[in-house]
Amino acid sequence: MIHLGIIGYPLAHSLSPRLHKAALQELKLEGDYGLFPIPPQHEGLQPFQELFRKLRNGELNGLNVTIPYKQSVIPFLDELTPVARAVGAVNTIYYHQHILVGDNTDVPGFSADLEKVLLSIENKKPGLLEPIPSNALVLGAGGAARAVVYALDRSGWQVTIAARRPEQAEELIKSMGLINAFNQKIGVVNLDTFSINGVSSEIQLIVNTTPLGMAPNVDASPWPDGSAFPKRALIYDLVYNPPETALIRSAKAAGLFTTNGLGMLVEQAALAFERWTGQPAPRQVMHKAVVVF
């Protein structure tokens, strides 16, 4: 019996149970996937320690981590994978050879899905987004931005972070070691109309890592009013509920290619499932389980 689950708060909206239950069923593995919501006001040693005790003694075989605990869980772990250590955030935990390991599958999950989307665009409109990789604009500087910025930087993109609090973006860059005195690759601008208009014309990729547009606030958008979209760009919104956000609607109206975060959600889940079970994840089945919700 395989026991899996997710820690975070809130969790009522989570699609992780659908993804992993579908994978378990497809592979004919007996198991379950539970929700472990811990309200922030109750955050402390005991709730975390109890879950990690279950991981160590085999009562739990794998644990996902989501907002707001991707960094809070780190002190409770024995080891981080190189990616998790570099990003400073964990979304997948497993027990291996008496060691409690924290991993981050958001990074390869985002990279794999972005590559898939870009290939699809190239097949439909050859040369539309050339040269790729080139200039990317990341909206937001929170936890989700860490994985995206790291993935883009490692893939050769020139990244600019647009944040309402630029100091948060500067701290993100510093803590991840992405710049130094000799190689100032990551730029930072204010997430406002004036600043965005100053950089957007050279952008081939815009990634929204903020929660703006997520249900129930479906009319909100991180894109500042009065800012023009680049003439040729892909808009990648990590929000997947609703499937078409206000940002995506605006970008489509401007004639741009768009995608939401559902592909990344499935891919990061598939990678976590493979860490836990050692078996190839049935990605098509997992995607089908959440494509309509």
Q: CA-CA distance, 197 to 291, in Å (whole number)? A: 34
Q: CA-CA distance, 267 to 125, in Å (whole number)? A: 25
Distances (CA, A) of 276 to 1, 86, 233: 12, 22, 37
- If we measure between CA atoms, which residue out of 78, 163, 115 comes closest to residue 259? 115
- If we measure between CA atoms, which residue out of 287, 282, 204, 184 comes closest to residue 243? 287
Separation of CA 87 from chain center: 12
- If we measure between CA atoms, which residue out of 292, 291, 288 comes closest to residue 25? 288
Active site (catalytic) residues = 70
Place of tokens 């929660």: 211
Distances (CA, A) of 215 to 51, 222, 285, 287: 29, 14, 25, 20
- If we measure between CA atoms, which residue out of 78, 53, 240, 80 comes closest to residue 144? 240
191-224 burial, b at 16+ Cβ within 10 Å, e below that, comes to beeebbeeebeebbbbbbbbbbbbeeeeeebbbb
- If we measure between CA atoms, which residue out of 131, 106, 107 comes closest to residue 118? 131
